[in-house]
Structure formats: C-alpha cells, structure tokens
Structure 1
Amino acid sequence: MKITRIINNNVVCAINDRRQEMMLLGSGIGFQKKKGDEVDRAKIEKEFFLKSKNVTGKLYALLAQIPMEYIRVSDSIIQYAKETLNKELNENIYLTLTDHINFAVARYNKGMNFNNALLSEIKAFYANEFRVAMKALGMINQEFDIELPEDEAGFIALHIVNAELGSDMEETMKITQFIQKVLNLIRYQFNIHFNESSIHYSRLTTHLKFFAYRLFNDNVVRSGDSDFLPIIKEKYASEYQCSLRIAKLIHVDYGKELTDDELVYLTVHIKRVIDEEKNE
C-alpha cells in the first residue's frame, strides 16, 4: 500500500492493492513520509473508503486543519448511528459532522454555548435520531473532556436526519418547522394533545418528514392510490377536511400543490393518530 498524498502527520491517502484510494488515520503515519512511500501498516488506526470524490476532497482539506481525534469520534458516532438506526447515511455526514464537532468544541472552550431553538421539536419528531445524538454527546464529552449541553445533541440529531434524507441543514430545519406547523393545525382542529410516545404519532411524524422532503424537492407521489379518495372523503370526512386545510397552508406558505395521492396518505395517518388519542 503506497502513499499518494500526505494530509498531515496523522492522516495520509494511499492506494490499496485494488487500486482504490483510501484515507488512513494513525499517530505519526505521515511523519517524515512522502508520496510513493510504503504505508507503515502497524500505524494504521482507521481506514476510510469514501465513494464521493467531492466529499473526500473537502474532508482532506478539513483534516489538514484539525486533529485526527475529530474524525475518529465522528466516525464512531456515524457507525453507531448506522447500526442503531439500521439505515445508510449520506457520506457527506463525515464532513458536516466532523466540522460541527470541531466547531462545537471550540465554542465550548471559548465559553460560547448556542441555544437550540428547535430542541423540543427535534426530540419529538426525531426521537430515534435524538437518542443516538445523546449517545454521541457522551462520546464527544469523553473524548475531549468537556460537558457539551443537550442543545448540541439536537444539532447532532439534525446532522443525522440530513444524512438520512440526503438534504442539508437549512432544508432539514425547514422540514422541522413544516412538521410543527402541520401538527399545530391538527391539534387545533381536533383539540387534542398528542401522545408523543405512541406508535401512530411516530408514524405520522415520520410520514410528514419524508412528505416534506418530497414536497420541497418537487418529488410528489402519484401512485394511483387516488382512486381511494372518494371513499376516504366519505369515511374520514373530518380528517379529510383537516388534510385540505393542510393543503391550503402548503399552498399559501410554500406555493406547492398536493396531489390526490398525498391527500389520501395524509388523511389516513391523521385518522390513525386521532383514533389513538380518542382511545387513550
């Protein structure tokens, strides 16, 4: 395995036997080395093989400026998230999460803590991701001997959601605010308080998350299920009227139109969560 690029004393790029370029981490792995030298395999602590050349290039630039501990703890968090959530994550999280951790630690050391205005919403809408983020917070605090606040777990959870959806932070925050608007409308119309630990609430918020992502990326559903719309209108009249109010909100606030298919799915999810609340 030969070195193709020296990032710093602890990070190098190398070409493996399959002619694949990899990023290698290890204390002193790049010290007094040059392009073309053999890698000291005994010093390899971590190997990375990222498919995206764009992400890889940006990660190289970031790691040239920060200690390898940041990518090491970031990778531990990402692997834990993948295993716990059983989901693939967009490779861009290696860049965004590593950069965020570096920034968060630097802010902490300067006594600058940021409040997360969406913390309550993140806990409610992305409960699984937030649990992973709380574990991540413990990893970071232990690695750097600090005490980051719970607000940071909210930010980390959003990075995980970004990687699930393949979106960026701005879009994910927009999606989060969208979900809050829709849930408030449902609460108001039916005069209920959601049981945030219930399965149907979880299914509703998950549906709204991916629904919003499709909506903002102009990728609406047209599956043919709109044939059920007349039945839905009759059987779930009040829930359907609520869906129409949501459709109006979307049109006014975002300039988007809902398909009949989306109205069907939305009405069914509302019906399930309303029935569950009534039976509590």
Structure 2
Amino acid sequence: MRIVKAINNNVALAVNEQGHELVIMGKGVGFQKKPDDIIDDAVIEKIFVLETDELSEKLMDLLGEIPAIHLEIADEIVNYAKETFDVKISDNVYLTLTDHISFAITRHEKGMSIRNVMLWEVKKFYKDEFAIGLKALEIIHERLGVQLGEDEAGFIALHIVNARQDGQAMKTTVDMTQVVQDVLNIVTYHFNVVLDESSLNYTRFVTHLQYFAQRLLRNEIVDSGDDFLFDQVQVKYPESFACTAKIDAYLQKAHHATLTKDERVYLTLHIHRVTERNRTSE
C-alpha cells in the first residue's frame, strides 16, 4: 500500500494494489510521509474503503479540518446500525455523518443548540433510525464526554435514513413535515389564534395530519362517499368547515390533491376541537 497524501501524523490517503484509494488511520501512519512512500501495515489501525475515489478524497479534505476521532465515532455508529438492525448503508454517510457530528460538537461547545423541527416525525416514522440516533449520543458521550440532546439524535437518525434510502425517505419526511406545518399555519391564521401545543387535542390533530400527509404523498387517499356526516359537520361547525376549504385550496395548489369528503369531516372535527378553547374564551 502506497501513500497518496498524508493529512496529518495519524491519517492518510493511500492506494492499494488494485489502484483503489483508501483512507487509513493509525498512530504515525502519515508521519513524514511523501507521495508513493510505502506504508507499514503494522501501524494501520483502521481502513476506510469507500465507494469512489472522489468520496475518499472529500473525506480526506474534511479530516484536514476536524479531529479524526469524529470519523471514528461516525464509524462506530454506522457499525452499530449495521450489526443491530442489519441494514445496508451508503458509504456517503461517513462524509455526511462525520461532518454533522463535528459541527454538533462545535455548536455544543459554544453553547448553541438547534431545535429539530422534525423530531416528532422521526420518532413516529423512523423508530429504528431514532434508536440508532440515541445510541450515537451514548457513543459520543463515552468517547468525548459531550452530552448532546435528543434533537441531535433526530438529526443523526435522518442521516441514517438518507444513507439507507438514497435520499428518498429523507425527502418524504421533509415533504410530510411541510404539509403538516402548512396546515397548522392555515388553521392558526384562519382563526387568528395561537394553538396550545401542550394540549391533548393538539397532539391528536398533529398525529392525524401526519398520517394524512403520509397517505397523501403515497397517493393512498380513499373516500367512503358518505354524505351524511359531511352535511352534519358543515352545518354544526361552519367556521371549522370553512377552514378545511382553505386547506383544500392549498393542497390543490401545492400538491395537486383534493380533500375527500371523509377527510374534510375528520379535519373539521379536529379543527373544532383544537380551536374550541380559544373560541369559548372570547
């Protein structure tokens, strides 16, 4: 194995007998090494054989800016995911996850925290990946003594989702979150209220919206054709029913989808419940 480029004393880019570039780590592996120098196998502690030479070189560039232990932590997390959940993960995760972990640790040291607006969705729809995220927090704490919050477990989980699904699951989660947030905004502005996020009715409403958004994005919306409840809620809860018309207009414009009568009934009932306290207190 020959040196291509030494990034520091303990990390180097190398090329094997087949001509593939590898990222290697080990005490003194890059010390005073020049291109084409032969590497002593005895000093190699870890070899990262990535999918492409371009990915290996990008990882090397990253390791020139951050501590190598952050890559070791990412590797431990990926190995835990593979062994515990028997999943296939793209090598690109070594780049993205290492970069994220390093940035998260830097933010933590500066007292900066970022709220994960998709934490609810990650917990609900990606339970295995979130479990990996929680384990990642344990690994980071064990290796560095840094205790990151649950929001970071959610971010790490999304990196695993992305690596497992080539970005498709990540896109679905993002799109689903956008639908939920947009509908909540429509309700808020229609009634000119601040919804009580700690209430059970709010939790029920958001849960319904999440499942609805999931069905919508998968094109799994069906309608029973029952007009009786539709007519009833239209008369009994006219303001909440009017709000569903705005939601329907948004869905047609943004997602080329139309609310079914069933869905307008369910949404009307949820909207009435979640806004009732505000209306009765006026």
TM over 0.5: yes
The DSSP-based 3-state class of the residue aligned with 1:129 is: helix
- Deviations along 1:169-189, one digit per CA (max 9) or x if unpaired, are 9846523405747999xxxxx
Maintained 8 Å contact 2:20/2:53 = no
- In 1, Cα distance between the equivalents of 2:28 and 2:176? 43
Q: Distance in 2 between matches of 1:112 and 1:28?
A: 35
Distance 1:248 1:175 in 2: 17
Aligned with 1:12: secondary structure? strand
Residues of 1 paired with 2:82 and 2:110: CA distance?
Answer: 32
Matched with 1:101 is: 101
**In the alignment, what sits opposite 1:115?**
115
CA separation of 1:247 and 1:39: change in aligned 2, threshold 3 A? farther
SS in 1 for 2:121: helix
Match of 1:22 in 2: 22
Deviation at 1:145, TM superposition (A): 0.9
Partner of 2:164: helix, strand, or coil?
A: helix
Q: Distance in 1 between matches of 2:32 and 2:168?
A: 38
Q: Secondary structure at the match of 1:111?
A: coil
- Using the aligned pairs only, state the percent identity: 38
The change in CA–CA distance for 1:57 and 1:21 in structure 2 (over 3 A counts) is: closer
TM normalised by structure 2 equals: 0.65
Tell me the CA shift for residue 148 of structure 1. 0.9
CA distance in 1, matches of 2:132, 2:179: 21
Q: 2:68 aligned with 1:68, yes or no?
A: yes
Q: 1:77 matched to which residue of 2?
A: 77
- CA drift of 1:133 comes to 0.6
Partner of 1:49: 49
Partner of 1:87: 87
Match of 2:122, SS state, is helix
Letter in 1 for 2:133: A
Unaligned stretches of 5+ residues in structure 1: 185-190, 216-220, 259-280
SS in 2 for 1:137: helix
CA contact (8 A) 2:73 2:139 kept: yes
Contact map agreement 2:21 2:53 (CA 8 A) in 1: no
Give the AA of the match of 1:253: A
- 1:168 and 1:92 map into 2 onto residues whose CA distance is 15
Cα distance in 2 between the residues matched to 1:56 and 1:176: 33
* Native 8 Å contact 1:134 1:153 kept in 2: yes
Aligned residues, how many?
A: 222
Distance in 2 between the 1:79 and 1:99 partners?
Answer: 17
Q: Which has the larger radius of gyration?
A: 2
Deviation of the 1:153 alpha carbon = 0.4
Aligned mates of 2:78, 2:183 — CA distance in 1? 30
Is 1:144 aligned to 2:144, yes or no?
yes
Structure 2 residue matching 1:24: 3-state secondary structure: strand
Show the counterpart of 2:36.
36
Aligned residue number for residue 254 of structure 2: 253
Cα distance change on mapping 1:13 and 1:181 into 2, 3 Å = same
Partner of 2:130: 130
